[in-house]
Amino acid sequence: MPSTILDSAIFRDVFTTDAMRKVWSDETRVQKYLDFEAALARAQAKLKIIPKNAAAEIVKHCKADEYDFAELKTKTEKIGYPVLPVVQQLVKLCKNGLGEWSHWGATTQDITDTATILQIRDALDLIEADLKAICDNLARLAKRYRNTPMAGRSNLQQAVPITFGYKMATMLAAFERHRERLKQLRPRVEVGEFGGAAGTLSSLGKQGLKCQAALMKELKLGQPEISWHTVRDRIAEVGCFLGLVTGSCAKIAFDVKLMMQTEVEEVYEPFHEGRGSSSTMPQKRNPISSVYITAQSAVVKQHVAALLEAQVEDHERSTGPWEIEWIVLPEIFMLSAGALAQTKFLTAGLQVNEKKMRDNLGITKGLIVSEAVMMGLGPYLGRNYAHDLVYDICRQVVATGRPLNELLAENNEIVKHLSRKEIDALCDPANYLGVAGEMVDRAIKLRKK
């Protein structure tokens, strides 16, 4: 019976995706073990290390559906590792004793690590596709709302006007950086392992490196500079990368949750009937995807810490830290896939309330443009004096509730230099957007297709 969020019949497709679950399934992992064994047999046959007929027989039986998983479970519990039970079944499946040529010169960790890298490669293909889709969504939002003014916020207070397109473009740039990070890390991470007992390939003599190169060519993986049984930066790097990615997902989710508040109401998550409803308050429309993203990203970060702990391994083959990866790496990928799926859904159908954004710009009676007024007065009064003068007038706005532009127009020092029309223009948030639009254009232009 399923017992965790990731395999729950109810929650499984909320917190992860079926495609990512398959990558980390028992069936896929065992098939990756067998992909290694088949590739090793082919490579060694070409180098005349094992007979060609043995290689053909071994390759013939490297299909996971031929294997007894109940027996694998029993033997793994007895032996402590799953690879030897797979090899034992492979030997039995092969005719005329030819299976004895399987696993020639390899060790359990070679197969386990290389299988993990093969799974990572498949998983990163899924991550890459989701990153692109999210970038596409963010680019559309940035372009559509390039000139839509809204309040920029600092310490949860209104700061100066920005545009919603600018806000989305900042996240577009972040996700484009993630795409670039992924492109850069894949050659470093997608490297196989084949070193034998202590990494020196001593069982193959002088043919060790040739065999290693041929094996990696078969698997379409990079050949390691040197064995890495207990040097785990590759695995740690991909975990840290996913921590960064899900952190960006959580940033979007956090802002959406804040902007969905009743008092703000500037955006809403995609809606269908019943989504986000409360069991007791009929008026509620709760954030859903954003809430899941928050939880997923938080757990990913904690798991990444465990993955970093797994780097501290003893000597040439470790006693325990390695197994930390078995526990947390699949969950990091599955939760990351879930967070990306929710972010993709959210950004694809985000509902934007432009009127409410404009209305919220006015709730401070003009205080949000106080910097604009200060800078406008600076050339006439000096920046520091203009700052203090506008500060005092802002306090009057707070005390009286009267609009800033009216109080400015009543100040004798100000009206010497600015007409009412000029004061009103300074107090229009749409006139104080800086180069937000140009920044949006730049972020869109520089993104990779």
> What is the C-alpha separation between 400 and 154, in angstroms, rounded?
24
Taking residue 410's Cβ as centre, other Cβ atoms within 10 Å add up to: 12
Q: Which of 317, 318, 358, 402 is catalytic?
A: 317
206-242 as b/e, with b when 16 or more CB fall inside 10 Å? eebebbbebbbebbebbebeebbbbebebbbebbbbb
Distances (CA, A) of 382 to 366, 370, 372, 421: 22, 15, 14, 21
Does an H or E element contain 21, and which?
A: helix 18-23
**Beta bridge mates, 191:** 222
> What is the C-alpha separation between 88 and 108, in angstroms, rounded?
12
> What is the C-alpha separation between 331 and 116, in angstroms, rounded?
13
* Nearest residue to 131 via CA among 234, 17, 249: 249
Total number of residues shown for the chain: 449
- Whether residue 90 contacts residue 181, with contact meaning beta carbons closer than 8 Å, is answered with no
Provide the phi-psi class of 156: left if phi over 0, else alpha when psi is between -120 and 50, else beta: left
> What is the C-alpha separation between 265 and 256, in angstroms, rounded?
10
Catalytic-residue membership of 317: yes
**Residue 55 CA to its chain's centroid (Å):** 40
- Whether residue 248 contacts residue 182, with contact meaning beta carbons closer than 8 Å, is answered with no
* Nearest residue to 144 via CA among 354, 418, 296: 354
Helix pair angle (164-189, 108-144), 10° resolution: 160
Q: Which of 202, 203, 277, 278 is catalytic?
A: 278
Catalytic-residue membership of 402: no
Helix (H, G, I), strand (E, B) or coil at 78: helix
**Residue 99 CA to its chain's centroid (Å):** 42
Enumerate the active-site residues: 278, 317
